Structure 1
């Protein structure tokens, strides 16, 4: 990070206000936002979804949607007033002097064009390089962002690259013309800790080399703490706190900033749990030498572990480590190739979905993206009631059918209440709900059959820190009240440390280490576990950490 006292600002945002047209009305979403950024500085804009941080970043780049407009204030870049630019003027500035690293490489890259050609487009638009020089520059950029075997990579299509690799391509495109300012909009959202660190290291290295200033839009306070000189905290369209990062973290002045910081997993008190029994009768999940192959690919390779009644057992690892495939076998969504899997005393190793059905009441799953798992035609009542209908008798006397509807209604309402949602949500549609509310609906759907084991596959990875904290508190309360057993799949080690009793670390389909969570975190026994722990963002947020 760069200390630039007295440097003249590269970017000045002065009293910025933005409104969106909705039908015939106008709704202001940004109110009088002001800040300055010097060359080489990093400003992190943090806040929950809807706080205005992405709108601010997009306004700086002139990339507001068609129904959005700047209704007050101005944005200055050096001596140029960006808010006065015509579309033609923006084309001359955007990509060359200022550029964007977008959030989602899946939708930001053209799926039918080679990634090298997409980076070359920036050079074609903003430089006078000939074709040979552009090809050399693309090769240099791919090396700069950490690719090896560049000749092959530049000819690949986006679907042939991992999420982290696609994000590197977007970084290469953003810096191709050596801009003075980069707006990075959630550039590592959804990435594994190690890949996140690589991408952020890359942005940081480029900033140090060229003096590029960065506006880092993120909901991850750990990333903001580690990677910025200044933090701006946004809430309901206003910049409620702005200052040097270390000062804001050490002594936040605004109540909302304090609430955000209090929600960070590493700052929340860990409630000790009594040790779980290891008796065979107390093992609700028993996995021995589990293997799952897909053709020549071995996704899970000889995995063994037990899960004890009432505990939270976490499985962590990077994308492709095999943790989600393991979860799919445990929930009957994928058959094992070999090995043994016992759930609640029953051998389910080679059961297909129909054979697994009798266990479906006792073993439920909460998916990473609940919205994708909901029928778009259903309202909340239909979503939560669906498992009950699935197990209901097909042919009933009319009187019994009415009674069943009343029973279902009571159980749906009880499940919603258990997930901290009021009964008036019954007739809402998932599209009308926030991410946190949708995840609560997914939890209610899992609870309505009163299961004993719940598999949670990345349940909070897409949620803001305060919403994630609420979901974790909810899961802990439900476990205490109902004696639930959780298998918690995650790449977020800070969350795993906060919620789990024991943890297994997976790499390339194998478990390389497992044991009590605190022991694994405090004294890792495998080099891969050490690398994962070293990549955790937000050490500066931990109470007592050196600044």
Structure 2
């Protein structure tokens, strides 16, 4: 069978400060009609660059410096601008990662999909409009006339991604490059989007190159699997074969880091029911305007326990986290933390509890002062809460390995506490004077954890703390959180939309929908014997079932 796409010894570089730096090295693979090849790897592995090179969409400082890309009988690496206009969008199309960037915010989405038809077909205006409405039905929209007239800002993230899929399949191309097409989407929306791509492949024989860091998605949705590391394709083959018998150490490490496998390997020690309750939420309501973001929620969390709240976007889980940490006030109900009723407290009134109740955000970078280096970021809570003099230490101060000795340039305020927190978060000594923008995503998340730990809290609320991290980095953060909990008897309230992650870290879990908890209980009971149809739906949408085949 003739390959739809053939990539031969592809090498790509980026020009930086006059120097061409290679980032993809001698990559080769083929994709046949109707096949899905998943390119997986962590950030910086070269997978997105490879996908964009196939489409001729490298940034201005990027160039193919070696090798050849063939699409059927055409050599894409020899095309000029006019040749690309004939191919891109008609025969080869892209589903990009971020619909917020890819859609024009001031144009109706129907008109944006029409652009593809205007460029690549002879359809008149009426026929183009009819085709867009047909495409919107195909991608699962109801009330398609209304959707046609809406602007991107009026649609949810999942809906915007469906618009991009409609654009990509408008003229039924032979090849689609899907670049992280479901990144950041809820599990159920992710499943719907991936089902749409599968349906297109089944109907028209379209081939797909699926670029993803999500091994679960790659495992479930691909025929071939290519694993990239440092710009090289270190392993490739039929997906089932690679999963069953990985040959490369890096592939094995990635597979061992998948949350579903971490959950299977975890030894659970049940938190005794006799332990004190440190979080009590009773009939909590939070109303914004006419919308109840949280509507009658109740739960308890015991000391040393990890209690997870899981749900889709808009379920109310993050609003619950904000109430628990004093960042917003409840409309009604009662919240008690460590025996103190905090329901009516504003931010000033919550201040005395700030030492004991801390939060780690999904995007720590947005919560850091960009002027601060890492030391100042971690020290900031100690400067803000001045009830402890510098150098007074705490329960965990003084337990240092010495790696930070000589790094601080002389005695600094709160040095003992900051160093203890940095070491607890397993940060290397060379980060102390760097700014967060100079760190990787995983390092920034560790800085956020260190900042939360520096006050030696008793309760930590973690709001989607690993959703933006690569799988191996996420596994490291989960292991770090478990270690810190065991050492410090911490209580976690863990907020997530990812059920596989929740299973890996939780003792008990609550499932939220439209502001209400619809089910809660021990994590293994909820996963093995769910009591509501909604929980069943969420569990069925978890990607990666092929990854845990044969895992106890």
TM bracket, shorter-chain basis = over 0.9
1:250 corresponds, among 235, 244, 249, to 244
Q: Is the alpha carbon distance of 1:394 and 1:445 closer, same or farther for their aligned partners in structure 2, counting shifts above 3 Å? A: closer
1:308-343 per-position Cα deviation (integer Å, ceiling 9, x unaligned): 100100000100011000000000111000000000
Aligned to 2:467: 461
1:338-366 per-position Cα deviation (integer Å, ceiling 9, x unaligned): 00000011111111111111111100000
Work out whether 1:285 is the aligned partner of 2:291: no
Q: Normalising by structure 1, what TM-score?
A: 0.95
2:157 corresponds, among 163, 167, 188, to 163
Aligned to 2:63: 69
What is the DSSP-based 3-state SS (H/G/I as helix, E as strand, rest coil) of the residue aligned with 2:466? coil
Q: Normalising by structure 2, what TM-score?
A: 0.95
1:274 corresponds, among 249, 269, 272, to 269
1:229 corresponds, among 223, 230, 249, to 223
Work out whether 1:515 is the aligned partner of 2:510: no
Distance apart, 1:82 and its partner CA: 0.3
Aligned to 1:13: 7
Aligned to 2:395: none
- Contact 1:539 1:545 (8 Å CA) reproduced: no
1-structure distance, mates of 2:108, 2:346: 39
What is the DSSP-based 3-state SS (H/G/I as helix, E as strand, rest coil) of the residue aligned with 1:303? strand
Aligned to 2:419: 413
Work out whether 1:127 is the aligned partner of 2:130: no
Aligned to 1:297: 291
Q: Is the alpha carbon distance of 1:393 and 1:502 closer, same or farther for their aligned partners in structure 2, counting shifts above 3 Å? A: closer
Work out whether 1:118 is the aligned partner of 2:112: yes
Aligned to 2:432: 426
2-structure distance, mates of 1:273, 1:205: 40
What is the 5 A alignment of 1:389-538? 389-392=383-386, 406-538=412-544
- Contact 1:380 1:430 (8 Å CA) reproduced: yes
Aligned to 2:397: none
What is the DSSP-based 3-state SS (H/G/I as helix, E as strand, rest coil) of the residue aligned with 1:154? helix
2-structure distance, mates of 1:135, 1:503: 46
Distance apart, 1:423 and its partner CA: 2.6
Distance apart, 1:186 and its partner CA: 0.3
1:177-197 per-position Cα deviation (integer Å, ceiling 9, x unaligned): 211110000000111110000
Work out whether 1:37 is the aligned partner of 2:31: yes
- Which structure 1 segments of 5+ residues have no match? 1-6, 397-403
- Contact 2:356 2:459 (8 Å CA) reproduced: yes
Distance apart, 1:406 and its partner CA: 3.6
- Contact 1:267 1:543 (8 Å CA) reproduced: no
2-structure distance, mates of 1:373, 1:392: 20
- Which structure 2 segments of 5+ residues have no match? 391-409
1:223-262 per-position Cα deviation (integer Å, ceiling 9, x unaligned): 0000000000000000000100000000001111011001
1:198 corresponds, among 184, 188, 192, to 192
Aligned to 1:142: 136
Aligned to 1:384: 378
What is the DSSP-based 3-state SS (H/G/I as helix, E as strand, rest coil) of the residue aligned with 2:149? coil
- Contact 1:224 1:231 (8 Å CA) reproduced: yes
Work out whether 1:98 is the aligned partner of 2:95: no
1-structure distance, mates of 2:534, 2:415: 49
Aligned to 2:398: none
Q: Is the alpha carbon distance of 1:26 and 1:344 closer, same or farther for their aligned partners in structure 2, counting shifts above 3 Å? A: same
Work out whether 1:22 is the aligned partner of 2:55: no
1:442-467 per-position Cα deviation (integer Å, ceiling 9, x unaligned): 11111011100000000000111101
What is the 5 A alignment of 1:341-352? 341-352=335-346
Work out whether 1:260 is the aligned partner of 2:260: no
What is the 5 A alignment of 1:180-191? 180-191=174-185
